[in-house]
Every structure is written in C-alpha cells, then in structure tokens.
Amino acid sequence: MDQNMDINAFEGRIVKMEVDYTATCDEKIPLCKEMAKTESKFNEALEMLLQLEKQTRIGADMVSSSRVLIAIVQICFEAGNWNYLNEYITILVKRRSQSKQAVAKMVQECCTYVDKTPDKETKLKLIDTLRTVTEGKIYVEVERARLTKMLADIKEADGDVTGAASIMEELQVETYGSMDKREKVELILEQMRLCLAKQDFVRTQIIAKKINIKFFNDAEQQDLKLKYYDLMIRLDKDSSFIKTSRHYLAVVDSDLIAQETERRQKMMIYAVLYCILSPYDNEQVDMMHNLSKNKLLEELPVYKELLRLFMCKELINFDALCTVYGTELNTLDIFDQESTHGKKCWAELKNRLIEHNVRIISNYYTRINLKRMAELLDLTEGECEDYLSRMVNAGTLTVKTDRPAGIIHFSTKKAASEILNDWAFGLNELMNLVNKTCHLINKEECINNVMPAPSVTSS
C-alpha cells in the first residue's frame, strides 16, 4: 500500500494520510513508556501520548494512531492503575474523528487484560467499561460477544442463572459476519444451555433453529454436535418422544463415539425406547422400521425383540412384558421411578402397549362386545372406553359405540380421495339406474303406441 494512503476496512473507503507520524511514534512511545515507570512522571507520559494521539488522529495516520492508543492502555495496565485504564478507554473512544481501526486495536488489547485483573470487582468494572464503549459498534462486535460471555460466566458462577441468560440473549451472533462459524455455534449453544437452565423452553427452541445441522457434518465439529444434541435431548425429552429418539439416533451416527461401543449401544437403546414411547403416527411407524434395519440393533437382542413386539400384529400382555423385560428396563435412567420423568415414561409405556392392542383388535374385529374387549385388554370397561375415546380424538381409530347394547363398531378411516371415489361411484350407479328406468318407460310407450286400440262392442 502507498505510504500516503490507508484503507479504513470497516467503512470500505480510502482515507488519505495527510502526515506520516511513524518516525515520531518510534521515538516518543518507547520514551513515554520509560517515563511512566517513574511514578512522578506517569501523568506527564500520558499527556505526551495524548498530544501525539491528537496529531495522528487529525493527520489521519490510522496505523500510528492505533499504536498510540495501545501504548496508553499498556502504560495504565503496567502501572496497575485500573481506574485510569477505564477512564482513558472511555475518553479515547469518544474522541472526534477517532479511527475505527484504532479503536478496534485498543479494544482487542484491553480484552487481554480482563483475565489479569487483581480481583473480581476490578474485572467486572473493566468488562462493563469495554461493553459500554463497544455497544452498537459493528467493527468490535466479536470482542463485545466474548466480553458478554465472560460476564455471563461470572454471573452464573455467582448463582444468578437468570441474569446470565438475559445477558447472553442480547447477542445476535448469527448476524456477526466477522466471527468464525465455530465460535458462533459455541455462543449459540451457550445461549441454549442458559435458557434451559432457567427452564425457558420456548426461547431455547427459537435459538436452536439458528443452527443448521449440516454444520455438524464436518468431522472437526463432532464435539459441538454431541453438545448440541445433548441440549436438544434435554429440551425435547418431556415434550416430544419422537424428536428425542431422532436426537439419540443422530448421536449414534456421530464419528466421535464410533469407537465407544458401550456408550454407542446405550444411545441406541434410548433411541429405540423413546421411539416406542412416541404416540402412534406415520412418523413413528417409519422410525420403527428404520431402527429395526439398523445393524447396531443386532448387538442388542433384548431391545430388538422389544421393538419387534410393537411392530407385529399380536396382542401384548403388560404383566408378561414386565416379567420378561422389567428388570432390564428398570436399570435405565429413562424408567427411574425416583424421578418424575421416569414415572411418566413408565406410564407412557403402558399407554402405548394398550393403544397397540386396541389397534390390533380393530384389525381383526368389525364389532366387539365392550366386556370382551376389556377382558382382552385386561382393563375395566370404563378404562377401555377412555382409551377408545382418546384414540378417536387423536384420529387413530374410527369407532362407533352402541352403549345400551355395549357393542363397539370399528370402521376403517377413509382418506379424502377414497371418500370422493365412493361418491363418484355411487353417483354413476344412480345415473345408470335413471337411464335404465327412462329406457324402460320409453319402451313401454313405444309398445303401447304400436298396439291397436281395443274394439268397443255394443251390448
């Protein structure tokens, strides 16, 4: 680049350097740093640098201006004068026509001092000062994001999780063009973690959508993939079993745990169980078939057989299931009876089993006595009606109940296209009957016209 020209990268325009202060800076900056080591000449050294800063700023020498700003904050830091450091950061940023490049360099230098502060109070004050001067400035958005993460960590360590989450939520890191993609994802995952910690599930779902899962296809990002799916499992495990199953299956496919056989098998077990616990629909059926074809399931014969039971068209007895699989299932966290989630999952397992049995009965019967159905399901008649009502409301079954007679009528739920076809077929049959009737009437009229009129005999 020409010595008399400089480019302000943050504005995209060329600024002409009126005076080159490189030689002056080479002379005065080391001199001022040496003077500042003497306490009596500390202020004098800063005054000299402030005068030099003014000259470089007015002369549009951004490189020299950056060097002077960095020198000022370095002198304050080396002297251990944190109050002066905070004061001069604020003053220098507010100077008229201050170069953005110089401000960015100074802020970057000051960020390195945060971890070197002598106590927590000084650290918080420095972070607050830097966050204040960087607010609303795109060219230091990355530094502000990192400072905000530090402040959130401090608040979380103090037990203020809500405050930490509120601070992190201010960051819209997905819009930061100058930030590395991995760092963006790390900050978004931190936002998700803090929102989960304060049980703000709606905001967590919104934040999670900012991450494109294709990012995790990169082999170098597998650690972030595991962290992401761990957060998603915590988010969805109480609200959507099918999504939780998909998250566990994604973890199984991760290259990072490919060599950890025990951990991989455990993730596969959870994927199978959460799929079984999911309400019946096309997505759940598709997921079951995909899991049954997974080669890893060959290493888990118990869970392969359990999955087969829920896929085959046979009734399952809950007591027999508990006898065969109960001991194995109770060793898992998912069915831990000491936790609310464990109790919920165990209740859902029984519900899915009964719903499976009802669907099997509907496949073999067009109508059945309610008392007989209750015997098959090992339920009371009232419980049987509750499950039928629930499945009808969910659209799984089409049922009509004759309560006085105690008869349940099953009918196949027809798709809209089938209903339209039946209507068209019925209409065609009706028109055929009308045409045939008209033809017979015309035939009778023709015969009647051809035949001679009967003669009238006189008495």
Q: Take residue 365 and report the two structure tokens written for it.
A: 């019967």
Backbone angles phi, psi at 8, to 5 degrees: -85, 100
What phi and psi, each to the nearest 5 degrees, are found at residue 411? Answer: -135, 150
pLDDT value of residue 403:
84
Asked if the model's pLDDT at residue 311 lies above 70, the reply is yes
Q: How confident is the model at residue 405 (pLDDT cuts 50, 70, 90)?
A: confident
10 Å Cβ neighbour count for 241? 21
142 in helix, strand or coil? helix
Beta bridge partners of 401: 408
Question: Reduced to 3 states, what is the DSSP secondary structure of residue 8?
Answer: strand
Q: How far is 17 from 26, CA to CA, in rounded Å?
A: 18
Residue 125 has pLDDT above 60, yes or no: yes
183-203, pLDDT tens digit by residue? 999 999 999 999 999 899 999
The radius of gyration computed from the CA coordinates of the chain, to the nearest angstrom, equals 39
Domain ranges of the chain: 12-116, 365-409
Which bin fits 159, alpha (ψ -120 to 50), beta or left (φ > 0)?
A: left
- At residue 195, the pLDDT reads 93
Residue whose entry in the numeric block shows the structure tokens 């309560």:
403
Lowest mean pLDDT among 162-166, 332-336, 393-397: 393-397
Q: Is the pTM of this model over 0.85?
A: no
Is CATH 1.10.10.10 what the domain over 365-409 is classified as, yes or no? yes
DSSP state string for 405-423: TTEEEEEPPPPHHHHHHHH
Mean pLDDT, range 153-164, rounded to an integer: 91
